[in-house]
Amino acid sequence: MAGHAAPRCLWSAGTARFVVCGTQALVPLDGGLRRRHEGHMTPSIDIESLRERLLRGDRAALARAITLAESKRPDHRALAAQLIDSVLPHTGTAIRVGITGVPGVGKSTTIDALGSNLTASGQKVAVLAVDPSSSRTGGSILGDKTRMARLAHDPNAFIRPSPSSGTLGGVAAKTRETMLLCEAAGFDVILVETVGVGQSETAVADLTDFFLVLMLPGAGDELQGIKKGILELADMIAVNKADAGEAEQRANAAASEYRAALHILTPASATWTPPVVTISGFHNLRLDALWAKIVDHRGKLTATGEIQARRRAQDVKWMWALVDELLHQRLVGSPEVRHRTAEAEAAVARGETSPAAGAASIAALIGL
């Protein structure tokens, strides 16, 4: 159309790269244009504008800020740190709740019902995930999102998948940054779900103020739970799927077992004895009572200063998790280092080098 510039598209042949200008001949890329296409020249990010939009609760700004925080690019990481530091005075007021349970216990269904109850009462709810399998598989939060049908379409709710790569500590540290950005955007409740099983429970307990463990009725004796260490982390145990009839009877029996198990453990706080309740996430039964206990816990531990002390200790763990992640990125970020690391791995696998010598050679690659 007359008066409009012809659209450009990038075209390459071998090592030569060109821009096609409408029906004109191929024009070789100059240095500046080449760098823009190759991603070395990106649009500048106005951190002050992003901060203002974030503090107004702009969801697009929140998503952009989280993407920035999760980026592996050093310039993006520096900008994210600057942004997070600038909004820290506006964080810390949300109730942070970690939720875990074995696959099939009904985490997503319970979170959907609980979150919907909270948004209906006028609160803003963010649901985040810590999934240690995400570094290999991309995580499973998309499946969880489909099971959180109400929250996924609720304007007062925000669901964010687990960061898709890094060590478990790095994934948790980035989830913590996401949590702070959500608080800055005005969210009142942060629900952090463990998607995987195993070490992620400890990671989520170190992110949150309150750790809720969901159990199934008749899922084994209480000693098995103690072996896994889950009960030692719990601020409350909720036996899910306590529907009417026989299911409720089984849930009540399981709840009695877990109360007996908790009775022989020393509570983490002298102010709080972890209760055991029965709920039904599917039928939205007794979730209001469950939330009332979470609010009661916050009130009691805030009064004694334990919430603030826990958060300061979590900040120190966050710092060291980020140090570990930076070292990990140094190892995987350079093609040359990756190549030499692979050589060291192969030498150990062939029995030519001891694991200690292999570790020393890899550490030397990043100046350790």
For residues 274 and 234, is the Cβ–Cβ distance under 8 A? yes
Answer whether residue 358 shows pLDDT above 60.
yes
Q: What is the pLDDT of residue 339?
A: 87
pLDDT (mean) for 303-329: 88
Q: Domains of the chain, with CATH numbers?
A: 8-37 (no CATH), 91-303 (3.40.50.300), 314-365 (1.10.287.130)
- Sign, Cα dihedral of 102, 106, 112, 117: negative
Which of 239, 270, 266, 237 has its CA nearest to residue 252?
Answer: 239
Give pLDDT tens digits for 37-86. Answer: 444 445 578 899 999 999 999 999 999 999 999 887 888 988 999 999 99
Q: pLDDT tier at 120 (50, 70, 90 boundaries)? A: very high
Q: What is the pLDDT of residue 363?
A: 87
Q: Is 104 left (phi over 0), alpha (psi -120 to 50) or beta?
A: left
Q: What is the dihedral of CA 291, 163, 321, 86, to 10 degrees?
A: -80
Answer whether residue 21 shows pLDDT above 50.
no
Phi first, then psi, for residue 17 (nearest 5°) are -130, 140
Q: What is the pLDDT of residue 254?
A: 87
CA angle centred on 60, ends 132 and 162, rounded to 5° = 5
For residues 191 and 107, is the Cβ–Cβ distance under 8 A? no
Type of residue numbered 151: L
Give pLDDT tens digits for 208-253. Answer: 999 999 988 875 554 454 445 777 889 999 999 998 788 888 899 8
Name, in order, each residue with C-beta under 8 angstroms of 319's C-beta and a sequence gap of 6 or more: none
- H helical segments located in the chain: 31-37, 47-55, 59-70, 74-87, 107-120, 134-137, 141-147, 149-152, 168-184, 200-205, 222-228, 230-233, 246-263, 287-303, 306-333, 335-349, 355-365
